[in-house]
Structure formats: structure tokens, C-alpha cells
């Protein structure tokens, strides 16, 4: 607790905690629909300064390993502060390590901007396949919000993919595939398998006042020219123009519950002092770890809170090619994908499916540091073989909810004033079988594309972008934290608007769905208030 | 610490290429590329001291042949992997950001921005390949 009297602010109608994709989409939608509302968003971190992003400097490669690493733990270890107000996450008992950004824009600041939707079947996996749970609503109910989110965020892609229900024309044409993508596509063609250019929240042409991507490569250290969509550039300027107040560097300490309702939030302000902000509605949108941490620290008594943590278990398969490919050129996560094996096939021995994604190559330093050994003459040989001559396929499996996979609090008090947080996550046998199946398929396609040698990484631990399920939606308060409108069963004016809500995870990246959920929850609340 | 010792550690980790593939420059050794352990010697004391001990003294390390120096580093890496990783965490970024190294691997030394890279847009021939995928028909399942 900071010294001095508490700074008390006039009560507001809606108080949001977290300025990432879910919180930003929620705020803009609500402000648009009910302009008279006073809406405030508290964001623990700050705004990035695009004039000083590492991709414009000589040491951009090492920035990605330290102050601009995707892991908050690595950023903290670097000792260099950025706009991301990180907290340590005890992850020694988690097979997958968490990645995120804790500032305005949330993890859209350092994401790859791969922007797929869930499939209709992903919302009904219990009914269709007898595993997991069904969402409280289906694809059709979310579809208008997917469409709207596509326009707000700006999506480059190509309509007509037979793996999905028909989508509206994408706002921008697809990103170029490059030699790497074209070569990989040849492998899928040779096998007669599905492939499609990705939906990417990256401008392929100038869009909404932001420039087209110039294929510089390192999307994960922030986008200098604003081509990669992030909510500090998309939703937030518009939400602020609509009257939403965004308070940066404001760290929520506790959501205060009185008489079964959220009364407001106690937070540490940018001035270092304690603040109190009362509100008629409080919305938590701090991602699947941050939201669970705050709600647990606030004493929300919900048996499913923090449980059912889902990532997307991932493996990599790398194929080596004699011909020269692009190297680390183009948006890192965005070339092509295949949903040949996305839907359940009982013959595979596991329910649900996998997502195969052809990604771009690592920067030279990252490529060199992952080699075994990373030094000596042998390393040179491997690097010469791989750099600009390899294609990586990411195999991503659907993670099913399991109560033992969880976010919980530790006994320690962290520097941000909140209890420490830890993850317990074990890879299930089903996920392992899914990944093994996907690895075999990825090797097949790389061979078909002309790879002469294959390397496999059976589980990639540093892939924990997708922090899902820890305050999941459902009908039963014993097994879910919120209802289908994001309302906490235990406090109906306390809402959640981020990936924590996911009842199940599908096998694709969640950003598009998080944005759509934020819009939908904003719309639902607007209808109630208006 | 002895500058010759530090240089020998760098140049054993990063020995350079005696012969490069045809048509490209060879990779330089670490020291000529500008990698210098001296500013980091204090923070890397434990691992550097272990290397010196394994060699029988700082001066013995540079005097040993490359196979012996490599074997020493491998044994220290086995014995203290975290400290050795910190050593690599200093040496490798300096090396792989050096213009001579980037150029030898066929990459430019300028940062990603503002130049970016040119990549041709998707052409009609590529789009035509997707007709095969479309012709396979609907792949998604109904949710009911």
C-alpha cells in the first residue's frame, strides 16, 4: 500500500481493467452504442513509442531475447523496462511457458497477428465429439462480431476457404506468400491437401490510416510502420475519441465486492498512490493469467476460477531445402495454413484436430541460438544448412479443458502489490497424440515440397501465447465462472472480456475470437443499459 | 582476466570458417568480428574461472590446440549449463549482429526498418492453385 491518502475518483458507469484486444473492443462497442456512459479503462502498462522500437536499430535481434522478448519473465530478467508492466509468473510446473505483453494494446503489441476464426464445430465439441464442453452460444451468434472485428482490426486474406462457412470479402487482399510459402504450398498441392493463405491482422495495402506492411520481418518486437494491427492503433484511438478514458500505468490491486456486487477497483496509479474508482459495472480483461490473478486476489469465490487453463500445445517441424528461400522476411506468423486435419476423424485415435501453419523463418540470432550445439564448427555447418534454406511448419493442437491445469496465487507479494501467480499445466496424452499425428503430417508435406532433411521439435515450450479458459463461460456455477454474456455467476455486475472466457479452445489462434467476444459482451451490456 | 585467455575463449566458441561455401565470404572468428569478453568478465567470473581451472590455468587455455580447447568448453558446459548459457548469451548476440557475419550468411547489416523487404504480391497463378482446394468442397462441420 502506497503512503498518503487514497485518491478517490467520481464513480463511473463502467470500469474496465486491461487495454488489450478484449477490453479495447468492448470499450469501443459500448461507447458507440451508449454514448452517454462514462467509461474508464485501467491499464497496468504504458503506450509504446514507435519512434524507438528496436526494429529500427542495429541491436534489434538481441532486443527480441531481452527487453522485447515475448516472455514477461525474460523481459523482467533483462532488467530493462519497457512499456510492458510485467509481473513474474512461476511457471516451473508448466510444460508451456506464458507469453504476453502488459501494456496498452495488450499482446497485440507483440503478437504475430495470425487471425483465424474458430470453426462452428469448436463451439459444440461435447455435443459433436463427446469431449470438453459446449459453449453457451454458437458460431452463428458470434459471426456478426467476427465480421465487425475484421473491419476494425483490418484483415488481409482471401474469402472462399472451404474449411470455413462463407466469410465476407476480406478487407484487404492476402499477404504475399513469398518463396517459402509458395514452396510449402507445392507440398500441400502434391498431396492433394487443403491449404489457404492466412487471415492476418496485417495490412497488405494501406488501410484505415495505417501503412501497408513492408515485410520487414520481426513482428514480435512491435511494428514500426503500424501495418500490423494492434489495439493501440485500431480500437483505442477511436474509443478515446468516443469519450472512453484510458488511464495507463494504473495497476488494479483489487476488485472490491460488496453485497454480492462489484463496487469498484482499488488501484495503484501512475503517481504511485492508491486510487479508488467506483463503478456500476467492472470488466476484467487482463488475459487468462492476469484476469484470474486479479479475481483470485479479490476473493471471488468461484470453484472454476483459475481452472481449465488451456494453451495450444505446439510442435515444430523444420524441413531443409537445397534452394534458397526468403529468410526472415514477411510477417512472421503469416504465410499459409492447412485445415486438412482440423475436424475429428475417429480413425486417428483422438478426438478433435490440428492446425498446420507455415510460418516465416527466424532472425539469424534466434536461429543460431536454438542450435544444438550453438557454438563451434558444427554450429556453423547447421546454420549454413538452415538459414534461408528451411521451412517450418507449426503444428498446433486443440487443448481440452482439465481442472488440474490452472492459474493460482502464491504466498508471495510481488512488486506490483498483488500476490504472486503460478501455473500448473501438464500436457495430456490426447494432446500428445494430436501433436504426434500432426508432426507426421507436417513431415509428409515438407517432404512432398522437396525437403531433403527434417528436424522435429516434439513440444515447443515457448509458445504460450494463448491463455484461455480460466474464467470460462457456462451455465453451471460449479463448473464455470461466467455466463454466456461474460457475467460472473458470483457477482452479476462483474464481467470478463478476454480469453479467460473460452469454454474450449479450438486449435487456432484466439485473437480474432477474443475481439469478437469483446464486441459481443459490449453489445449485450449496451442493450441492457440502453 | 588475461586478454589472450578471453580472446581464446571467444575464438574457440566462434572459430570462424576456414573454407566458405563457393561464392560467399567465410565467417570470421569471434574476435576479428568484434566480440570482446573483457567488459563482461566480471559478470561471467564463475564460468570463465571454471574454464581456466579445467585448462590448468588461464595461460594454458590459449596455448592448447583447438580440439583440447573445445573439449574443455564442452566439459564446462556439461558441468555448469546455466552459467555457460549466460556466456553464450553475451557472445552470440555480439557475433550475429556483426556486419561481417550477417553478410557472410547472405544477410544485410541494416536493420529491418525502414527498408523492409520486397516480396512480390500473390499472382494469378497462385490464386488458380486454390481452385483445386475449393473443388474439394466444404470441409467444415455443422455445429448441430
B 38-67 near A (Cβ less than 8 A): none
Interface test with A, best of B107, B111, B128 (most A CBs within 10 A): B111
Residue B24: what pLDDT?
86
Cβ neighbours of B27 in A, within 8 Å:
380
Which of A371, A376, A504, A508 would you mutate first to test chain B, the one with the most B CBs within 10 A? A376
Sheet order of strands, A196-197 included: A196-197, A336-338, A354-359, A390-397, A314-320, A453-457
DSSP state at residue A200? B
Q: Which residues contact A157 (CB under 8 A, 6 or more apart)?
A: A115, A170, A172, A174, A197, A198, A199, A200
What integer best gives the mean pLDDT of chain B? 95
> Does the pLDDT of residue A487 top 80, yes or no?
yes
Q: What's the CA angle centered on A78, arms A413 and A514, to 5 degrees?
A: 70
ipTM above 0.85, yes or no: yes
Cα–Cα nearest to A343, from A121, A85, A16, A15: A121
Alpha-helical (H) ranges within A397-471 are 429-449
Q: Which residue of A has its CA nearest to B27?
A: A380
- Span B82-110, pLDDT tens digits: 999 999 999 999 999 999 999 999 999 99
The Cα–Cα gap between A306 and A449 comes to: 43
B121 and chain A in contact, CB less than 8 A:
yes
Q: Please, which residues have CB within 8 angstroms of residue A103's CB and are 6 or more apart in sequence?
A: A19, A43, A44, A45, A46, A47, A48, A82, A83, A84, A85, A109, A248
pLDDT (average), residues A357-378: 94
CB contact under 8 Å between B106 and A59, yes or no, is no
With a cut of 90, say whether residue A63 has pLDDT above it: yes
- A145: nearest Cα among A521, A483, A494, A471: A521
Please write the tens of the pLDDT for every residue from A292-314: 999 999 999 999 999 999 999 99
Say if the Cβ atoms of A214 and B144 lie within 8 Å: no
Answer yes or no: are the C-beta atoms of A50 and A83 closer than 8 Å: no
pLDDT band for position A444 (cuts 50, 70, 90): very high
For the question of whether the overall pTM of this predicted structure is more than 0.95, the answer is yes
A268-271, long-range: CB < 8 A, 24+ apart: A268/A2, A268/A416, A268/A417, A269/A7, A271/A7
Whether residue A2 has pLDDT greater than 80: no
- The cell for A488 is 460472473
In tens, the pLDDT along A223-238 reads: 999 999 999 999 999 9
Query: What percent of chain B is helix, strand and coil (3-state, nearest 5)?
Result: 55, 0, 45
Of A188, A241, A150, the closest CA to residue A515 belongs to A150
Contact A225 B113 (CB under 8 A): yes
Query: pLDDT tens, A81-140?
Result: 999 999 999 999 999 999 999 999 999 999 999 999 999 999 999 999 999 999 999 999
Give me the phi and psi of A37, to 5 degrees please. -70, 145
Identify the DSSP state of A134: B
pLDDT greater than 70 at residue A1:
no
B23 close contact with A: CB closer than 8 A: no
**Distance (Å, whole) CA A374 – CA A200:** 33
CA distance A407 to A530: 36
| Whether the Cβ atoms of residue A483 and residue A473 lie closer than 8 Å to each other | yes
pLDDT of B19 = 86
A403-406 contact pairs (CB < 8 A, 24+): A403/A304, A403/A307, A403/A308, A404/A307, A405/A307, A405/A308, A405/A309, A405/A310, A406/A306, A406/A307, A406/A308, A406/A309, A406/A470
Q: Which phi and psi (to 5°) does residue A159 adopt? A: -70, 165
* B21 pLDDT above the threshold of 90: no
Amino acid at each position: 500500500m502506497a503512503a498518503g491518502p487514497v485518491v478517490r475518483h467520481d464513480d463511473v458507469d463502467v470500469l474496465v481493467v486491461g487495454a488489450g484486444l478484449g477490453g479495447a473492443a468492448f470499450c469501443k462497442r459500448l461507447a458507440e452504442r451508449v454514448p452517454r456512459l462514462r467509461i474508464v479503462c485501467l491499464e497496468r502498462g504504458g503506450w509504446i513509442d514507435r519512434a524507438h522500437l528496436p526494429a529500427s536499430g542495429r541491436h534489434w535481434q538481441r532486443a527480441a531475447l531481452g527487453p522485447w522478448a515475448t516472455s514477461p519473465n525474460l523481459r523482467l530478467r533483462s532488467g530493462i523496462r519497457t512499456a510492458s508492466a510485467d509481473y513474474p509468473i512461476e511457471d516451473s510446473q508448466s510444460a508451456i511457458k506464458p507469453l504476453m505483453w502488459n501494456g496498452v494494446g495488450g499482446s497485440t503489441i507483440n503478437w504475430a497477428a495470425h487471425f483465424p476464426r474458430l470453426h462452428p464445430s469448436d463451439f459444440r465439441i461435447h455435443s459433436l465429439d463427446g469431449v470438453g464442453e459446449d459453449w453457451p452460444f454458437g458460431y452463428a451468434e458470434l459471426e456478426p462480431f467476427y465480421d465487425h472485428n475484421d473491419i476494425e482490426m483490418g484483415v488481409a486474406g482471401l474469402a472462399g476457404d472451404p474449411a470455413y462457412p462463407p466469410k465476407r470479402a476480406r478487407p484487404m487482399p492476402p499477404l504475399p506468400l513469398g518463396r517459402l510459402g509458395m514452396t510449402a504450398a507445392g507440398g500441400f498441392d502434391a498431396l492433394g491437401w487443403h491449404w489457404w493463405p492466412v487471415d492476418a491482422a496485417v495490412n497488405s495495402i494501406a488501410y484505415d490510416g495505417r501503412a501497408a506492411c513492408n515485410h520487414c520481418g520481426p513482428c514480435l518486437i512491435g511494428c514500426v510502420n503500424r501495418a500490423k494491427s494492434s489495439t493501440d492503433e485500431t480500437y483505442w484511438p477511436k474509443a478515446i475519441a468516443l469519450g472512453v478514458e484510458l488511464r495507463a500505468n494504473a495497476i488494479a490491486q483489487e476488485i472490491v465486492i460488496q453485497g454480492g456486487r462489484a463496487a469498484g477497483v482499488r488501484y495503484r496509479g501512475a503517481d504511485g498512490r492508491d486510487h479508488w474508482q467506483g463503478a456500476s459495472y467492472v470488466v476484467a480483461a487482463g488475459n487468462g493469467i492476469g484476469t484470474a490473478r486479479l479475481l483470485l486476489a479479490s476473493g471471488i469465490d468461484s470453484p472454476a476460477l483459475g481452472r481449465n487453463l488451456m494453451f495450444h500445445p505446439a510442435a515444430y517441424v523444420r524441413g531443409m531445402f537445397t534452394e534458397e528461400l526468403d529468410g526472415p522476411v514477411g510477417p512472421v506468423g503469416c504465410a499459409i495454413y492447412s485445415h486438412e486435419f482440423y475436424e475429428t476423424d475417429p480413425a486417428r485415435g483422438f478426438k478433435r484436430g490440428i492446425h498446420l501453419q507455415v510460418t516465416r523463418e527466424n532472425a539469424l540470432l534466434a536461429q543460431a541460438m536454438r542450435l544444438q550445439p550453438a557454438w563451434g564448427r558444427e554450429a556453423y555447418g547447421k546454420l549454413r544448412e538452415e538459414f534461408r534454406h528451411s521451412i517450418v511448419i507449426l503444428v498446433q493442437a486443440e487443448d481440452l479443458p482439465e481442472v488440474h491445469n490452472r492459474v493460482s496465487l502464491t504466498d508471495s507479494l510481488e512488486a506490483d502489490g498483488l500476490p504472486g501467480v503460478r501455473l500448473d499445466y501438464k500436457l495430456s496424452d490426447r494432446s500428445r497424440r494430436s501433436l504426434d499425428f500432426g508432426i507426421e503430417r507436417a513431415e509428409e508435406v515438407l517432404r512432398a515440397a522437396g525437403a531433403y532433411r527434417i528436424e522435429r521439435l516434439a513440444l515447443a515450450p515457448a509458445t504460450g501465447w494463448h491463455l484461455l479458459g480460466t474464467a470460462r463461460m457456462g451455465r453451471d456455477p460449479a463448473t464455470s465462472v461466467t455466463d454466456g454474456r461474460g457475467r460472473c455467476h458470483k457477482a452479476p455486475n462483474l464481467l470478463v472480456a478476454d480469453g479467460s472466457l473460452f469454454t474450449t479452445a479450438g486449435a487456432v489462434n484466439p485473437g480474432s475470437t477474443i475481439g469478437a467476444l469483446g464486441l459481443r459482451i459490449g453489445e449485450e451490456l449496451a442493450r441492457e443499459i440502453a | 582476466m588475461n586478454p589472450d585467455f578471453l580472446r581464446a575463449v571467444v575464438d574457440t566458441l566462434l572459430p570462424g570458417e576456414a573454407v566458405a561455401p563457393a561464392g560467399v565470404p567465410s565467417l570470421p572468428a569471434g574476435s576479428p568480428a568484434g566480440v570482446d569478453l573483457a567488459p563482461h568478465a566480471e559478470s561471467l567470473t564463475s564460468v570463465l574461472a571454471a574454464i581456466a581451472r579445467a585448462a590448468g590455468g588461464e595461460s594454458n587455455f590459449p596455448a592448447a590446440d583447438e580440439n583440447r580447447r573445445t573439449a574443455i568448453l564442452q566439459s564446462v558446459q556439461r558441468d555448469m549449463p546455466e552459467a555457460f548459457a549466460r556466456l553464450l548469451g553475451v557472445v552470440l548476440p555480439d557475433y550475429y549482429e556483426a556486419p561481417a557475419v550477417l553478410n557472410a550468411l547472405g544477410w544485410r547489416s541494416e536493420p529491418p526498418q525502414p527498408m523492409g523487404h520486397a516480396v512480390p504480391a500473390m499472382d494469378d497463378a497462385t490464386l488458380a492453385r486454390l481452385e483445386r482446394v475449393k473443388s474439394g468442397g466444404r470441409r467444415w462441420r455443422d455445429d448441430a
